[in-house]
Amino acid sequence: MNSDLVTLARHSIALQKENPEASGDFTLLMASIQLGCKFVASNVRKAGLANLTGLAGCKNITGDDQKKLDLIADDVFVNSLKSSGKVSVLVSEEREEAIIIEGEQSGNYAVVFDPLDGSSNIDCGVSIGTIFGIYRSDRPSYSNKDVLRPGREMVAAGYALYGSSTQLVVSYGKGVHCYTLDPSLGEFILTQENIVIPERATIYSVNEGNSSLWDKQTCAFVLSRKSPLKGRKPYSLRYIGSMVADIHRTLLYGGVFLYPRDSKNPAGKLRLLYECFPMAFLIEAAGGRATDGKDNILDIIPTSIHQRSPICIGSRLDVSELATLYMEMDQI
Ligand code: P6P
């Protein structure tokens, strides 16, 4: 029986010990994110019973049908983050405009998040998740400028995976750590510290249904995974269609996840600020790599809060081979 329970708060405070400026604000901010994750976890578990599955009858700004849990999750995270008193700007996938918090209730952090990613999978019980990224703003401008910054400027990022258990995977800049929710305690307990992604693995993860729409580089890269050069094993395809679940498997087992640009989505489908940046922040902290084909994802400077980006992310050697292909084939 483990009697030395390392909670997320205890672990993140211990990691900040080397930081003389640590004021406890970040720990309080993380507590508000944890509250949102616990609430969503509880509702995802009983979605079928509490008539929470199914459409909410409205669409979000990107035209996706909003599910009831989407709306609930978004409200819970917004209220929890606002009441933390540590946030000046909030960006949610479910809201067209950023939420600006000034005055007494404001703080020095800006949080971007997708409250319930993969929600189209709610009705069939596939794992879904929450994704978040955190910027620090010592002199907030109380505008989108506080978040239209390269992902590399984030101070922390993570995701919650609502699966057989609820896991919160976080990086505070160095190392990637996994905390598992103990529902009987209502606490996230450290279960894996300093996760490192394998530098290569024979798994590729992409929606092959779009292959007729891909550019030549993506076609060549995916072909090189399925019919590799002599002496290398063909890769296996694993695609869940829920980014958090696909990235979690990639982090633990290695391999490469792609959502490339195509003729249907010329800028890619996934959102740069609150999907690609947080995942790239985590995977790079675990020793992996993330690119849009040309640039490292974390070096891109966003121009709008809901902009999309192509992404190839995962094991360093696999992702570097895609980047090389883009470089070589662009010169043809
Ligand atoms: P497709 C879920 O809707 C999502 O936003 C991500 O979680 C997932 O990776 C992607 O879209 C799946 O998209 O076009 O393959 O269904």
Task: Please write the tens of the pLDDT for every residue from 169-218.
Answer: 999 999 999 999 999 999 999 999 999 999 999 999 999 999 999 999 99
Q: Per the domain annotation, does 270 fall within a domain?
A: yes
CATH number at residue 324: 3.40.190.80
Cβ proximity of 157 and 273 under 8 Å: no
Instruction: For residues 284 and 310, state if they share a domain.
Output: yes
Q: How far apart are CA 10 and CA 33, in angstroms?
A: 15
Q: Which residue has the tokens 């003729």?
A: 263
Instruction: For residues 173 and 297, state if they share a domain.
Output: no
Task: Please write the tens of the pLDDT for every residue from 284-331.
Answer: 999 999 999 999 999 999 999 999 999 999 999 999 999 999 999 876
Cβ proximity of 218 and 254 under 8 Å: no
Q: What pLDDT is recorded for position 123?
A: 81
Instruction: For residues 212 and 111, state if they share a domain.
Output: no
Q: What pLDDT is recorded for position 51?
A: 62
Distance 242 CA to ligand 1 centre (A): 6
Q: Per the domain annotation, does 1 fall within a domain?
A: no
Q: Per the domain annotation, does 3 fall within a domain?
A: no
Q: What pLDDT is recorded for position 16?
A: 86
Amino acid at 65: D
Domain endpoint, select from 163, 192, 221:
192
Ranges assigned E (strand) in 23-70 = 55-59, 65-67
Q: Per the domain annotation, does 2 fall within a domain?
A: no
**In the chain, how many domains are there?**
2
The residue nearest atom 16 of ligand 1, judged by CA position, is 241
117 in contact with ligand 1, CB cutoff 6 A: yes
Instruction: For residues 188 and 208, state if they share a domain.
Output: no
Q: Per the domain annotation, does 25 fall within a domain?
A: yes
Domain endpoint, select from 135, 166, 192:
192
Instruction: For residues 168 and 58, state if they share a domain.
Output: yes
Triad 193, 194, 196: Cα angle to 5°: 130
Instruction: For residues 73 and 141, state if they share a domain.
Output: yes
Triad 78, 80, 81: Cα angle to 5°: 65
Q: What is the extent of the structural domain holding 154?
A: 8-192
In this predicted structure, the answer to whether residue 65 has a pLDDT above a threshold of 70 is no
Mutate to test the pocket of ligand 1, among 205, 242, 264, 306 (most ligand atoms within 8 A of CB): 242
Strand partners, 169: 159, 178
Instruction: For residues 168 and 69, state if they share a domain.
Output: yes
Q: Per the domain annotation, does 284 fall within a domain?
A: yes
Torsion sign (Cα): 85, 86, 90, 94: negative
List the structure tokens of 330. 């662009």
Average pLDDT, the chain: 93
Which of 177, 201, 317 minimizes the C-alpha distance to 253? 201
Q: What pLDDT is recorded for position 66?
A: 62
Cβ proximity of 146 and 89 under 8 Å: yes
Instruction: For residues 225 and 313, state if they share a domain.
Output: yes
Q: Please state the pTM of the whole predicted model.
A: 0.94
Instruction: For residues 63 and 155, state if they share a domain.
Output: yes
Instruction: For residues 263 and 169, state if they share a domain.
Output: no
118 in contact with ligand 1, CB cutoff 6 A: yes
φ and ψ of 284, to 5 deg = -65, -40
φ and ψ of 176, to 5 deg = -125, 130
Instruction: For residues 163 and 208, state if they share a domain.
Output: no
Domain endpoint, select from 142, 170, 192:
192
Q: Per the domain annotation, does 126 fall within a domain?
A: yes
Adjacency order of strands within the sheet including 154-162 = 99-100, 87-92, 109-117, 128-136, 154-162, 166-171, 177-182, 187-192
Instruction: For residues 85 and 35, state if they share a domain.
Output: yes
60 in contact with ligand 1, CB cutoff 6 A: no
Distance 274 CA to ligand 1 centre (A): 14
CATH number at residue 82: 3.30.540.10
As to burial, measured by CB atoms within 10 angstroms (0-12 exposed, 13-18 middle, 19+ buried), residue 182 is middle
Q: Per the domain annotation, does 59 fall within a domain?
A: yes
In this predicted structure, the answer to whether residue 47 has a pLDDT above a threshold of 70 is no
